[in-house]
């Protein structure tokens, strides 16, 4: 493996960073946080048509650029730095990866061009749990395994009908294409549902992170089309998607952590106490040095995982869990210490530090928390303790 980013990939990074600086400053991010959909559809289409971001990993025959996970990881890192309010993780990672790795050419031809151009927003509806309680989502923990699937799919007159609900669906209230994981009589299947399908209800959920929307979806005999999967193994497809989504999220966490570190360093240079910058005090120096070590180690873990996904490395499942666990902890540490360095102002609504902390905390739990992934890693390398790990609800 070549562990260095190519000049083309670095140019992609510079292009995306400049685009986000121009189109998604903090003022715009805060504006979008308060809108019903939580993102700007016109900007989303620009990302697809002008920059081609949604189609980076999609083959050219479906309108994409034909690159791979490393380029997607570069973009995810920059989106994390900017806390972009957009359904990139839901649509360009979860939904697109599901379509690319299924065995349904017809679905790919019908859906991928719209997802690539930004005309459509997609998502993957997987987890289930209790309805939201007072103050936000609560109840049973979210499960990231096949045993947690209770939504049912039944055949009727040659078509499929889905009944049940899904919780914590990323951008579920705005998605035009909802790929839904359901239980059939034979096992697990993945189904394509139109966002405006009859019988589908969508309820936005209150979440800790206002820059990333989630929803509860209700299915009441909702018509659906089943995606063809290799050997009919729906859960095998979902597992592949979750591993690759965890890797992409790890790259985003590196971007969040990196920006939090930059904010802390910049503030330590200009904030004075006792007649000198606080960054000159040994305690602050050591704190920031520890964060830098964590961020750079997380960057290496995420990059290695992206390369493993790029090369279809058989070790990807283990590497994905390792990267997700480590990057989750590093991101949370960086954002917490950013607030520590800022002191009182870091706790205010007006300062963006709390938004990075909230993204770090929700991302830590998304697709399974570090404890879940360490348990999963132990299982995947042959150190199974015989317990079933469960990820926490976001």
- pLDDT tens for residues 251-267? 999 999 999 999 999 99
CATH, domain 236-380, list 3.40.640.10, 3.50.50.60, 3.40.1640.10, 1.20.140.10: 1.20.140.10
> What angle (nearest 5°) sits at the alpha carbon of residue 351, between those of residues 350 and 353?
140
pLDDT of 1? 57
Spell out the SS3 assignment of 271-315. Answer: CEECCEEHHHCHHHHHHHHHHHHHHHHHHHHHHHHHHHHHCCCCC
CB 131 within 8 A of CB 206: no
For the chain, give the number of residues.
Answer: 394
pLDDT-above-90 percentage for the chain = 82
- Span of 50-54, 208-212, 382-386 with lowest mean pLDDT: 382-386
**pLDDT (0 to 100) of residue 393:** 36
Give the residue-averaged pLDDT of 67-94. Answer: 96
Strands 200-204 and 214-226 come out as antiparallel
- pLDDT reported for residue 246: 97
CATH of 7-120, one of 1.10.540.10, 3.90.1150.10, 1.20.1090.10, 3.90.79.10: 1.10.540.10
- Domains 124-234 and 236-380 are alike in CATH topology: no
Confidence band (pLDDT; 50, 70, 90) for 4?
A: confident
Q: Which CATH class is domain 124-234?
A: mainly beta
Task: Report pTM.
Answer: 0.92
> What are the boundaries of each domain within the chain?
7-120, 124-234, 236-380
If pLDDT is split at 50, 70 and 90, which confidence band does 136 have?
very low
pLDDT in the model for residue 116: 97
Write out pLDDT tens, residues 103-120: 999 999 999 999 999 999
Average pLDDT of span 351-372: 94
């Amino acid at each position: 493996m070549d562990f260095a980013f190519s000049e083309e990939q670095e140019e992609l990074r510079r292009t995306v960073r400049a685009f986000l600086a121009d189109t998604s400053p903090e003022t715009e991010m805060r504006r979008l946080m308060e809108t019903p959909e939580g993102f700007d559809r016109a900007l989303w289409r620009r990302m697809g048509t002008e920059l081609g971001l949604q189609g980076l990993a999609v083959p050219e025959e479906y309108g994409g650029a034909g690159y791979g996970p490393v380029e997607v990881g570069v973009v995810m890192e920059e989106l994390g730095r900017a806390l972009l309010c957009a359904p990139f993780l839901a649509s360009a990672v979860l939904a697109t990866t599901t379509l690319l790795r299924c065995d349904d050419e017809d679905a790919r031809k019908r859906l991928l061009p719209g997802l690539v151009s930004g005309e459509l927003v997609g998502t993957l509806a997987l987890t289930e749990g209790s309805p939201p309680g007072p103050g936000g989502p609560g109840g049973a923990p979210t499960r990231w395994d096949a045993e947690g699937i209770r939504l049912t799919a039944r055949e009727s007159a040659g078509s499929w009908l889905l009944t049940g609900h899904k919780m914590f669906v990323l951008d579920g209230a705005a998605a035009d294409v909802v790929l839904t994981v359901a239980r059939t009589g034979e096992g697990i299947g993945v189904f394509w549902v139109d966002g405006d399908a009859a019988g589908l209800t969508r309820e936005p959920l209150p979440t800790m992170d206002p820059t990333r929307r989630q929803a509860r979806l209700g299915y009441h005999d909702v018509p659906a089309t089943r995606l063809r999967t290799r050997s009919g193994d729906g859960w095998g497809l979902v597992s592949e998607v979750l591993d690759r989504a965890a890797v992409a999220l790890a790259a985003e966490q590196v971007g969040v952590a990196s920006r939090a570190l930059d904010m802390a360093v910049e503030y330590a240079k200009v904030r004075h106490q006792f007649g000198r910058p606080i960054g000159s005090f040994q305690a602050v120096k050591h704190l920031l040095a520890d964060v830098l070590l964590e961020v750079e180690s997380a960057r290496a873990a995420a990059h290695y995982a992206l390369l493993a996904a790029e090369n279809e490395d058989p070790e990807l499942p283990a590497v994905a869990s390792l990267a997700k666990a480590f990057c989750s902890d590093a991101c949370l540490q960086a954002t917490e210490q950013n607030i520590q360095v800022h002191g009182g102002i870091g706790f205010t609504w007006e300062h963006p530090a709390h938004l990075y902390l909230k993204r770090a905390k929700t991302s830590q739990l998304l697709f399974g928390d570090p404890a879940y992934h360490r348990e999963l890693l132990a299982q995947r390398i042959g150190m199974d303790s015989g317990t079933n790990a469960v990820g926490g609800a976001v």
